[in-house]
């Protein structure tokens, strides 16, 4: 009897150990990736090699006052926290695809029957098998959501590039305004000396000298205001580069690069509709909603839970498979299933409406920014080719006329003010043209101006990915 009891105990121990070993062996299993998951991970691998190689921040480019615009944009792309947040949102969404297509974890089961003694010892394993198609539908939902997150990441890159360009050109034209005002201040100093000389020989009154001094004082105050505004612009430029308040200030470019519009202006809207990252993201959200409808429809079908147990006390060993233990879910709440389907369909219609609204808003924005760009172009041409040359000639004639006593000092300063106003208007028109180009690039072209200069850089490599890889049948 002792030998038989020992044998039964050893059988129980063996069955228990085998069940545990089976459970732990299953814990190391891997599921089969869906085509959409493979495509998402392929895109993630490509971007990560550029943006976060080895999971670590890449080495940032060294910025100097001679750095190109593409260097500043690349620095911001790699360093901007908003871009980093969008990137990790996308990474998390890719990982959710694996979770959505994976089977539920199996369970270790253990049962004992005890009367006066232990009559049965049954270790085993149990697992739930969802209805065929449910896991695939869930993976499709997660994949479409992941593509939407990818486009949100791309939009964050473009927004980062736009902020760099916006402050970059504002700094340029602030320095231009300072230069124009300083040159004019020197010019007014010369006019004051001219008025004094005329006053000494009795050709003018002291009033002319006072007027020259008033103009200089007004211009000095304007210069002080412009110089003070540079602190705010430098802070904005620093923030656009993703630098913290405690970080040293960025170098201010010593030479600024103009942008060009490489796309046919008449085709801007068509380009925008095909490349705008926001529209692509909404299209992916529609695909996610469609997949959600299919997933909700799968709720009509039951899931099966099966198990396998072995009674180590019996001789021969008693096995239970598959009916006991085994369960089948009963999807009897039809109103709940119908509500889930209706919710998914409403989400799809909502996203379709938002996509339509976004397309309308995009068309308006392209028209507005195109108008501003064309207007700025016309103003630059008018000022450079017509008004400034004539204002300069008028000022020279006014100086000659004042020396000859033919006009008074008031007319001389009026021509000087006109010349200064046209010079500042030219600076303002050039700035508006550059900003309109930057905004057109952001909202319609779908890439930053100067991306052609970034194709060999890390930033350009990531941004040139465009549409994420999409498996057939999605």
The full set of domains in the chain, from first to last, is: 2-463 (1.20.1600.10)
Q: Looking up tokens 């449910």, which residue turns up?
A: 134
Q: Supply the pLDDT for residue 88.
A: 92
Q: Supply the pLDDT for residue 453.
A: 33
What's the Cα-to-Cα distance from 474 to each of 37, 123, 406, rounded to whole Å?
11, 43, 83
Give the whole-angstrom CA distance, residue 182 versus residue 424. 12
Give the whole-angstrom CA distance, residue 260 versus residue 6. 89
Q: Supply the pLDDT for residue 112.
A: 66
Partner residues linked to 120 by β-bridges? 113
Three-state SS letters, 268-303: HHHHHHHHCHHHHHHHHHHHHHHHHHHHHHHHHCCC
Give the whole-angstrom CA distance, residue 454 versus residue 69. 10
What is residue 65's three-state secondary structure?
Answer: coil
Q: Which two tokens stand for residue 65?
A: 């006052």
Give the whole-angstrom CA distance, residue 79 versus residue 156. 12
Sort 266 into a burial class: Cβ within 10 Å, 0-12 / 13-18 / 19+. Answer: exposed
Look at strands 318-320 and 118-129 and give their pairing. Answer: unpaired
**Separation of first and last alpha carbons in the chain:** 66
Phi first, then psi, for residue 134 (nearest 5°) are: -65, -45
Look at strands 118-129 and 304-311 and give their pairing. Answer: antiparallel
What is residue 217's three-state secondary structure?
Answer: helix
Residues 6+ apart with CB under 8 A from 241: 63, 72, 75, 76, 79, 80, 164, 250
Q: Supply the pLDDT for residue 114.
A: 64
Q: Supply the pLDDT for residue 60.
A: 87
Residues, the chain, total? Answer: 474
Give the whole-angstrom CA distance, residue 45 versus residue 43. 5
- DSSP count for the chain of H helices, then E strands: 12, 5
Per-state percent for the chain, helix, strand, coil, to nearest 5: 70, 5, 25
**CB burial string 412-446: b at 16+ within 10 A, e below:** bbebbebbbebbbbbbbbbbbbbbbbbbbbbbbbb
Question: Taking the CB of residue 307, how many other CB atoms lie within 10 A of it?
Answer: 19
Question: Taking the CB of residue 17, how many other CB atoms lie within 10 A of it?
Answer: 11
Q: Supply the pLDDT for residue 326.
A: 67
**CB burial string 74-95: b at 16+ within 10 A, e below:** bbbbbbbeebbebbebbbebbe
Q: Which of 397, 321, 407, 333 is nearest to 109 (CA)?
A: 321
Q: Supply the pLDDT for residue 299.
A: 81
CB 166 within 8 A of CB 437: no
CB 292 within 8 A of CB 134: no
Partner residues linked to 326 by β-bridges? 306
What is residue 62's three-state secondary structure?
Answer: coil
Question: Taking the CB of residue 39, how many other CB atoms lie within 10 A of it?
Answer: 21
Phi first, then psi, for residue 97 (nearest 5°) are: -65, -45
What's the Cα-to-Cα distance from 253 to each of 99, 165, 208, 234, rounded to whole Å?
48, 12, 41, 11
Task: Catalogue the long-range contacts made by 351-356 (C-beta closer than 8 Å, 24 or more residues apart).
Answer: 351/282, 351/285, 351/286, 351/289, 352/286, 354/282, 355/279, 355/282, 355/283, 355/286
CB 73 within 8 A of CB 454: yes
List the chain residues with pLDDT less than 50: 1-21, 23-24, 26, 322-323, 447-466, 472-474
pTM assigned to the model = 0.77
What is residue 310's three-state secondary structure?
Answer: strand
Q: Which two tokens stand for residue 56?
A: 């670590």
Q: Which two tokens stand for residue 352?
A: 């379709």
């Amino acid at each position: 009897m002792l030998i038989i009891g020992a044998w039964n105990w050893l059988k129980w121990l063996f069955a228990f150990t085998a069940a545990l070993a089976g459970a732990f062996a299953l814990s190391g299993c891997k599921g089969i990736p869906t085509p959409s998951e493979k495509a998402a991970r392929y895109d993630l691998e490509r971007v990560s090699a550029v943006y976060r190689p080895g999971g670590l921040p890449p080495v940032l480019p060294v910025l100097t006052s001679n750095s190109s615009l593409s260097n500043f944009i690349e620095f911001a792309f790699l360093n901007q926290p908003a871009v980093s947040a969008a990137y990790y949102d996308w990474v998390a969404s890719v990982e959710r695809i694996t979770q959505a297509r994976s089977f539920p974890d199996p369970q270790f089961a253990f049962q004992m029957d005890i009367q006066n003694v232990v009559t049965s010892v049954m270790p085993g394993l149990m697992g739930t098998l969802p209805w065929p198609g449910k896991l695939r539908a869930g993976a499709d939902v997660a994949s479409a959501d992941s593509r939407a997150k990818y486009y949100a990441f791309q939009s964050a890159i473009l927004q980062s590039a736009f902020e760099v360009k916006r402050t970059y050109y504002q700094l340029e034209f602030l320095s231009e305004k300072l230069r124009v005002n300083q040159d004019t201040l020197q010019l007014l100093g010369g006019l004051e000396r001219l008025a004094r000389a005329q006053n000494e020989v009795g050709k003018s009154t002291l009033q002319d000298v006072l007027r020259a001094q008033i103009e200089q004082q007004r211009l000095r105050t304007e210069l002080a205001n412009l110089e003070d505004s540079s602190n705010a612009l430098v802070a904005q430029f620093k923030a656009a580069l993703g630098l913290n308040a405690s970080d040293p200030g960025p170098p201010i470019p010593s030479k600024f690069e103009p942008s060009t519009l490489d796309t046919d202006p008449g085709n801007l809207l068509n380009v925008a509709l095909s490349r705008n990252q926001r529209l692509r993201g909404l299209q992916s959200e529609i695909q996610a909603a469609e997949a959600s409808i299919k997933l909700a429809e799968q709720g009509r079908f039951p899931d099966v839970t099966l198990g396998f147990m072995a009674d180590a006390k019996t001789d021969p060993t008693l096995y239970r498979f598959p009916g006991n233990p085994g369960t089948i879910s009963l999807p009897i709440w039809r109103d709940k299933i119908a509500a889930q389907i209706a919710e998914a369909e409403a989400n799809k219609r909502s996203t379709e409406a938002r996509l339509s609204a976004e397309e309308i808003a995009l068309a308006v924005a392209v028209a507005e920014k195109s108008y501003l760009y064309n207007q700025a172009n016309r103003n630059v041409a008018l000022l450079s080719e017509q008004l400034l040359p004539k204002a300069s000639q008028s000022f020279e004639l006014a100086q000659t006329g004042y020396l000859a006593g033919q006009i008074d000092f008031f007319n001389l300063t009026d021509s000087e003010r006109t010349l200064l106003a046209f010079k500042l208007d030219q600076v303002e028109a050039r700035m508006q043209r550059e900003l309109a180009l930057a905004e057109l690039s952001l909202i319609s072209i779908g890439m930053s101006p100067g991306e052609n200069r970034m194709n060999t850089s890390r930033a350009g490599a990531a941004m040139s990915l465009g549409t994420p890889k999409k498996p057939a049948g999605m």
